[in-house]
């Protein structure tokens, strides 16, 4: 009798758990499929095209010069086994794919845990048989499984193109563990901080410090031990296709387990919609920038803008500091300059050419920033945080216009921060890069950023849930398209579909005014169509 009763009671809880898992899978499946396609496709593409793009250029002398250059090691990681397709693929794509996987996992984790809980969409779920730790655990398992699937795709792609199995498995497992660590870290932060933005910011800061530790450890032999403190550094220490070290992965797996267990334990020690760190209470009201719609848009912008500015400034300060060393290395080793051109970075033989090539990358994060701001506006509308404003005699166009203007101001600030940071770094090493030239180089990518903003506004009107995905297409998607087109030797008209193909090398040359005007006009048209649709759709999308 007791056994039968236990079965009847346990079954509904089991069904509820499966339902929660399916919900979590539904929330992350599209993003996971995109990340799977990018990581698998890039790994296979670079390995397949190795012989044509790099095989003949990498002799023993060239490899020795590359491995000895601290600037190359700092920016791209320690060169290992570049004379093999697998090693070259890991060096060229490993760090970038690890950042992609970890950042996606981090943001997905805070979105489907802390974000859903704060919005009140977990209230009904938590009113049943499942407690908060069980719901958090179900979501965490889905994200960990997604990382395993992504890594399996990378491993399978590398094996399919003929690279050794052991190296492919180690690299795939490393990517999976880096992603799992980011997911566990974000879930832990979601238990500590009472808001989604606080949890995401703290987790991003930890990963940012980890990436910095990897870069410093790769660039300095004396500080190489720092890599053991970073998930990205541990991934590099596996040295697949060369030493095939499993010990760093054991350390990383231990860290994943430790952070995961801590997150699940803390989930049972806090209140629903609360965090271990309580929300600020009893402070004086902060009424600054609340006097108008425009001021309120600026207020919402300032905190994220500070975070984005710090990250961009740190990276481009490093770019400036390494300017003379990188250009000297590429001048002495033209084979690597040719490889850089294959990857979309041409004219690296001079400081201004080097700066122009790296400034092109700036369009990706700044375009993402613009898309994120429009996505935040869409989320605020969906979560009804804008309802009090909609109830006022304020048109929706007015609210969106204020958000767009604030975003444009933030974009201008980020471009200026990148230019000033690069100039400061170059000035410390005596590189020939005046401030005006640096600012001109960063301003040159503004048309691509405006395309991202226009695409995000278009998505806001037609498909609000996909604002971020659509908004980053001109920047991140365009750059990826150019790299793929150059790698496979695609026809010019195929490569010309990327906006980066029409970007002049400023400050090494004059800007392409005609191409810039076309991109700006296209961005305006996308925005106008998006606003027209936004005026006619319901608030719920």
Handedness of CA 471, 110, 186, 235 (dihedral sign): negative
Residue located via tokens 């430790």: 258
CA angle 379, 384, 388 (to 5 degrees): 125
Residues 264, 346, single domain; the answer is: no
Q: What is the dihedral of CA 162, 166, 171, 174, to 10 degrees?
A: 160
Q: Is 272 helix (H, G, I), strand (E, B) or coil?
A: coil
- Give the pLDDT band (50/70/90) at residue 344: low
Please give the span between the terminal C-alpha atoms of the chain, in angstroms, as a whole number.
52
Beta carbons within 10 angstroms of residue 339's beta carbon: 21
Residue 8 has pLDDT above 50, yes or no: no
Whether 507 is in a domain gets the answer yes
Residues 169, 141, single domain; the answer is: yes
* pLDDT number for residue 129: 79
Residues 216, 361, single domain; the answer is: no
Whether the ω angle into residue 507 lies within 30 degrees of 0, i.e. cis, is yes
Task: Tell me how far apart the alpha carbons of residues 75 and 54 are, in angstroms, rounded to a whole number.
Answer: 19
* 437 vs 325, residue with greater confidence: 437
Residue 356 has pLDDT above 70, yes or no: yes
> Which of 62-66, 360-364, 391-395 shows the highest mean pLDDT?
360-364
Residue 390 has pLDDT above 70, yes or no: no
Task: Tell me how far apart the alpha carbons of residues 504 and 516 are, in angstroms, rounded to a whole number.
Answer: 9
Whether 9 is in a domain gets the answer no
Residue 361 has pLDDT above 80, yes or no: yes
Residue 63 domain boundaries: 14-274
Residues 120, 32, single domain; the answer is: yes
Whether 287 is in a domain gets the answer no
Containing 396, the helix (H) or strand (E) segment is helix 396-428
Handedness of CA 250, 108, 230, 206 (dihedral sign): negative
By CB neighbour count within 10 A (0-12 exposed, 13-18 middle, 19+ buried), where does 26 fall? Answer: exposed
Q: Which residues contact 253 (CB under 8 A, 6 or more apart)?
A: 177
Task: Tell me how far apart the alpha carbons of residues 9 and 7 are, in angstroms, rounded to a whole number.
Answer: 5
The answer to whether the beta carbons of residues 184 and 140 sit under 8 Å apart is: yes
DSSP 92-115: HHHHHHHHHHHHHHHHHHHIIIII
Residue 221 has pLDDT above 50, yes or no: yes
Residues 149, 31, single domain; the answer is: yes
Q: Residue range 489-499: average pLDDT?
A: 83
Nearest to 346 by CA among 516, 491, 509: 509
Looking at the structure of the chain, the number of domains it has is 2
Residues 300, 420, single domain; the answer is: yes
- Give the pLDDT band (50/70/90) at residue 466: confident
How does 262-286 read in b/e, with b if 16+ C-beta sit within 10 Å?
bbbebbeebeebebeeeeeeeeeee
Whether 47 is in a domain gets the answer yes
Beta carbons within 10 angstroms of residue 464's beta carbon: 20
Task: Tell me how far apart the alpha carbons of residues 221 and 498 are, in angstroms, rounded to a whole number.
Answer: 39
What is the per-residue pLDDT across 419-464, written as a single tens digit (0 to 9) for each? Answer: 999 999 999 988 889 999 999 999 999 999 999 999 999 999 988 8
Give the whole-number percent of the chain exceeding pLDDT 70.
87
Whether 279 is in a domain gets the answer no
Residue 1 has pLDDT above 60, yes or no: no
Residues 211, 70, single domain; the answer is: yes
Residue located via tokens 């048989």: 129
Q: Which two tokens stand for residue 293?
A: 């719609």
* pLDDT number for residue 53: 63
Single out the residue in 274, 301, 326 at which a domain terminates: 274
Helix and strand totals (H; E) in the chain: 24, 0
Whether 284 is in a domain gets the answer no
Residues 265, 351, single domain; the answer is: no
Q: Residue range 145-153: average pLDDT?
A: 95
Residues 406, 519, single domain; the answer is: yes
DSSP 213-271: HHHHHHH-STTGGGGGGSHHHHHHHT-TTTT---HHHHHHHHHHHHHHHHHHHHHTTS-
Whether 4 is in a domain gets the answer no
Angle formed by the axes of helices 165-192 and 247-267, to 10°?
A: 20
* pLDDT number for residue 6: 43
Residues 252, 181, single domain; the answer is: yes
Residues 258, 371, single domain; the answer is: no
Residue 184 has pLDDT above 80, yes or no: yes
Mean of pLDDT over the chain: 85
* pLDDT number for residue 251: 96
Task: Tell me how far apart the alpha carbons of residues 201 and 205 are, in angstroms, rounded to a whole number.
Answer: 6
Measured in whole angstroms, how far is the alpha carbon of residue 495 from the centre of its chain?
24
Whether 310 is in a domain gets the answer yes
Single out the residue in 217, 245, 274 at which a domain terminates: 274
Residues 66, 159, single domain; the answer is: yes
Task: Tell me how far apart the alpha carbons of residues 222 and 106 are, in angstroms, rounded to a whole number.
Answer: 31
Give the lowest-confidence range in 42-56, 271-285, 411-425, 468-482.
271-285
Q: Which two tokens stand for residue 184?
A: 């566990």
Single out the residue in 247, 274, 301 at which a domain terminates: 274
- Give the pLDDT band (50/70/90) at residue 4: very low
Task: Tell me how far apart the alpha carbons of residues 310 and 125 are, in angstroms, rounded to a whole number.
Answer: 39
* 343 vs 118, residue with greater confidence: 118
Give the lowest-confidence range in 141-155, 247-261, 317-331.
317-331
């Amino acid at each position: 009798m007791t056994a039968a009763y236990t079965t009847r009671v346990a079954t509904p809880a089991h069904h509820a758990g499966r339902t929660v898992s399916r919900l979590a899978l539904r929330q992350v499946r599209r993003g996971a499929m995109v990340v799977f396609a990018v990581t698998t496709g890039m790994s296979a593409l670079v390995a397949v095209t190795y012989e044509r793009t790099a095989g003949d250029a990498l002799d023993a002398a060239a490899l020795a010069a590359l491995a000895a250059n601290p600037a190359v090691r700092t920016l791209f990681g320690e060169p290992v086994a570049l004379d093999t397709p697998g090693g070259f693929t890991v060096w060229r794509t490993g760090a970038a794919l690890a950042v992609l996987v970890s950042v996606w996992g981090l943001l997905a984790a805070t979105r489907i845990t802390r974000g859903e809980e704060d919005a009140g969409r977990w209230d009904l779920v938590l009113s049943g048989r499942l407690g908060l730790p069980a719901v958090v655990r179900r979501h965490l398992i889905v994200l960990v499984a997604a990382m395993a699937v992504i890594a399996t795709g990378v491993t399978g792609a590398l094996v399919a193109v003929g690279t050794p199995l052991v190296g492919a498995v180690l690299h795939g497992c490393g990517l999976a563990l880096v992603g799992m660590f980011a997911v566990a870290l974000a879930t832990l932060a979601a238990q500590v901080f009472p808001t989604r933005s606080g949890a995401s910011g703290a987790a991003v800061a930890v990963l940012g410090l980890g990436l910095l530790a990897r870069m410093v450890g790769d660039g300095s032999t004396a500080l190489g031990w720092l890599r053991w403190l970073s998930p990205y550094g541990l991934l590099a220490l596996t040295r697949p296709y060369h030493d095939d070290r499993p010990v760093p992965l054991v350390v990383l797996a231990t860290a994943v387990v430790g952070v995961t267990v801590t997150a699940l334990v803390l989930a049972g020690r806090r209140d629903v919609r609360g965090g271990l760190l309580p929300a600020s209470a009893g402070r004086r009201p902060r009424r600054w920038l609340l006097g108008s719609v425009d001021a309120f848009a600026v207020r919402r912008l300032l905190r994220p803008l500070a975070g984005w500015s710090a990250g961009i400034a740190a990276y481009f300060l490093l770019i400036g500091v390494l300017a003379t060393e990188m250009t000297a290395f590429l001048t002495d080793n033209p084979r690597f300059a040719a490889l850089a051109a294959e990857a979309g970075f041409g004219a690296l033989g001079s400081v201004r050419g080097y700066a122009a090539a790296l400034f092109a990358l700036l369009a990706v994060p700044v375009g993402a920033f613009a898309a994120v701001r429009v996505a935040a506006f869409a989320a605020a509308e969906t979560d009804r945080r804008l309802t009090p404003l909609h109830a006022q005699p304020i048109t929706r166009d007015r609210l969106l216009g204020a958000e767009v203007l604030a975003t444009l101001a933030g974009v201008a600030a980020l471009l200026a921060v990148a230019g000033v940071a690069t100039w400061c770094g170059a000035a410390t090493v005596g590189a020939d890069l005046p401030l005006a030239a640096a600012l001109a180089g960063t301003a040159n990518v503004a048309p691509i950023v405006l395309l991202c903003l226009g695409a995000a506004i278009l998505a806001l009107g037609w498909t609000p849930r996909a604002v971020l995905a659509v908004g980053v297409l001109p920047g991140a998607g365009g750059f990826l398209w150019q790299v793929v087109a150059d790698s496979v030797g695609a026809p010019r008209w195929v490569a010309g579909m990327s906006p980066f193909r029409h970007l002049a090398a400023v400050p090494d040359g004059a800007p392409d005014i005609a191409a810039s005007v076309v991109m700006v006009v296209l961005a305006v048209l996308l925005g106008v169509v998006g606003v027209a649709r936004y005026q006619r759709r319901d608030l719920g999308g």
